[in-house]
Structure formats: structure tokens, C-alpha cells
Amino acid sequence: MQPLRIGMVGAGAVASRHVASLATLDGATVVGVTDEVEERAAALATAAGGEARPYASLEAMLAGAGLDAAYVCVPPYAHGPPSSRWWSPACRSSSRSRWPST
């Protein structure tokens, strides 16, 4: 089985801790990072290594990274837009995610 392709929404301290934890797991790899501050996204993508690359926006990451899952690591008041975009039917149908058929 191929590893899960993980995207990080936000590139602050919480995201950094998640990236470090994911690095210890077999079967998961961080492939994309987006943040309002592009330099932070670039720094965290570099720290994640492997295939990880920074994206200028959530939409660009959803379109280009082939994500299976995403960590939303932004302040709680900002969870709505990225979470609702990730859960939209258009996002699920355009990704290579392993959603069960219904």
C-alpha cells in the first residue's frame, strides 16, 4: 500500500509538531504545506523533507498535491474555511483519497 499523502494547512508551531510526529510513522508522508506566510510554508516543507513542497494557497495544494488527508493547524477561529473546503464533494471526488464508495 502506498503511504498516505498528507497536507498541512498552517505552518506554525502546532504544524511543526505534527510534521515531526508524522516523520516517525511508516505509511504517511507530508507532501504539501500551505500558510498565509509563504516563507513559513516553505520552511516547514523543507523541514518535512521528502516530497513536501510549499503551496501559495489551500486551493493550489488541494489541486496539486494529490492529498489523502490534511491537518488543519490554524487557530480554532480559522478552522471553518479550510475544513469546509476539504470536506466539499468536489474536493473528495478530485483527490486520490481512499473514501469508501456509497
Q: What is the DSSP string of 13-70?
A: HHHHHHHHHHTT-TTEEEEEEE-SSHHHHHHHHHHH-TT-EEESSHHHHHHHS--SEE
4-94 CATH fold:
Rossmann fold (3.40.50)
pLDDT digits (tens, 9 = 90+) for 44-84: 999 999 999 999 998 899 899 999 888 988 866 655 555 55
- 95: number of Cβ within 10 Å: 20
- Alpha carbon of residue 7 to chain centroid: 1
Tell me the average pLDDT across 87-94. Answer: 45
With a threshold of 0.85, does the pTM exceed it? no
